[in-house]
Structure 1
Amino acid sequence: MPSYLTAPRSRPGPRRRSLLTGAAGVASAALLAGCTDSAGSDTEESSAARRLRAAAAKDSRELLGRYDAVLAAHPSLAGRLAPLRSEVKQHADAFAAGRAPSTPAATASGSAAPSPSAPAGPSPSVPADPGDAVRALAKAERELADRRGQALLDAPAEEGRLLASVAAAGAAHAYLLTEREGDK
């Protein structure tokens, strides 16, 4: 009788199931944040929301700067990184404008080429090896997603939902950036 069991994968890094579980946890926390009663006044909440959005926009612009630096140092990675970079730019724009990012379908059909409007400030150092540069991007995405996951616990409802969505996207980006390493 043939065996239908397959050998377990020995690929390093998170599995799709754990990625989806993590994203579901972030989304659940956002829903809970949206259901809590507001203890402060509307002015305090709107001030906290503005500060949260400003900090999140700054973080996204810094991550966008990392993508731009890697693409400048390793143009051969453009096909792989441009779609993720485009989404990071949409996240920065969403936090800056106070609106939700556009749908993934719009992202896929939109221009994925980096824009010349890189964030101001010093350019982050980029490893000479393209693989190391991609791993550094994955680490930055993962760390930012983790920080955003923690920040959404105290976020006002609207900002918590946006933060949860962008944190889940960042976790997915980190996964996609490290996915090819297991294929070698």
Structure 2
Amino acid sequence: MPSYLTAPRSRPGPRRRSLLTGAAGVASAALLAGCTDSAGSDADERASVARRLRAAAAEDSRKLLGRYDAVLAAHPSLAGRLRPLRAEVKQHADAFAAARSPRSTAPSAAAAPSASPSVAPDPKDAVRALAEAERELADRRGKALLDAPAEEGRLLASVAAAGAAHAYLLTEPEGEK
């Protein structure tokens, strides 16, 4: 009978186990090298960026809230249409303000009085301007996502999507909802 036993094949080069062991060693060295004082300063910088981003987003939401209030004051007949959207914008402002770091002791700009935005005398034009403000802010927030830390990015994405939906609802003729 012929023997079908063959010699085990030996591939040239390093074995898989030695490659994995070497990769694990390199990764461990990289992690250890990253555990220096610069890691702390990087974390502090990221936290600072996050605080600034949230503060700016909260302020933008408060300004948009002011626009809603101005339109509602000038055109009370729009209350049924605008109040639910205004309530969401208020929630956005609160979410950005609440998510700020507790280490931040700067006074909130929410208490600072601001000039009331001008409102078009025609209700349709006022709603159109409000839709444009929502769209512009949603676009800015979408662009800010590119540089935002993960948690802030998720919040910005959610609020930007809501703003885009608000802009759509505001541009939709009232009878077609």
Q: Same fold per TM (> 0.5)?
A: yes
Q: CA deviation at 1:181?
A: 6.6
Give the whole-Å Cα distance in 1 for the aligned partners of 2:146 and 2:78.
35
The 5 A counterparts of 1:1-150 are 41-98=42-99, 120-150=113-143
Give the whole-Å Cα distance in 2 for the aligned partners of 1:118 and 1:70.
20
1:164 pairs with one of 143, 157, 172: 157
Q: What is the percent sequence identity of the aligned residues? A: 81
Q: Which residue of 2 aligns with 1:180?
A: 173
Q: CA deviation at 1:120?
A: 2.3
- State which drifts further: 173-182 or 51-60: 173-182
Give the whole-Å Cα distance in 1 for the aligned partners of 2:80 and 2:112.
21
Q: Summarize the Cα distance change of 1:143–1:98 in structure 2 as closer, same or farther, 3 Å threshold.
A: same
Mark the structure with the bigger radius of gyration: 2
Q: Residues 141 and 170 of structure 1 are in contact (CA less than 8 Å); yes or no, is this contact kept in structure 2?
A: yes
The TM-score, its normalising length taken from structure 2, stands at: 0.68
Letter in 1 for 2:144: A
Q: Which residue of 2 aligns with 1:20?
A: none
| Stretches of structure 2 lacking an aligned partner (at least 5 in a row) | 1-38, 101-109
Q: Which residue of 2 aligns with 1:114?
A: none
Q: Residues 64 and 118 of structure 1 are in contact (CA less than 8 Å); yes or no, is this contact kept in structure 2?
A: no
Letter in 2 for 1:130: P
- SS at the partner of 1:53? helix
Q: Residues 62 and 119 of structure 1 are in contact (CA less than 8 Å); yes or no, is this contact kept in structure 2?
A: no
Letter in 1 for 2:154: R
Give the whole-Å Cα distance in 2 for the aligned partners of 1:120 and 1:165.
28
Q: Summarize the Cα distance change of 1:66–1:126 in structure 2 as closer, same or farther, 3 Å threshold.
A: same
Q: Which runs of 4+ in 1 moved over 3 A?
A: none
Letter in 2 for 1:126: V
Letter in 1 for 2:95: A
Q: Which residue of 2 aligns with 1:15?
A: none
Q: CA deviation at 1:182?
A: 8.8
Q: Residues 64 and 119 of structure 1 are in contact (CA less than 8 Å); yes or no, is this contact kept in structure 2?
A: no
The TM-score, its normalising length taken from structure 1, stands at: 0.66
Q: Which residue of 2 aligns with 1:111?
A: none
Greater RCO (CA < 8 Å, at least 6 residues apart): 1
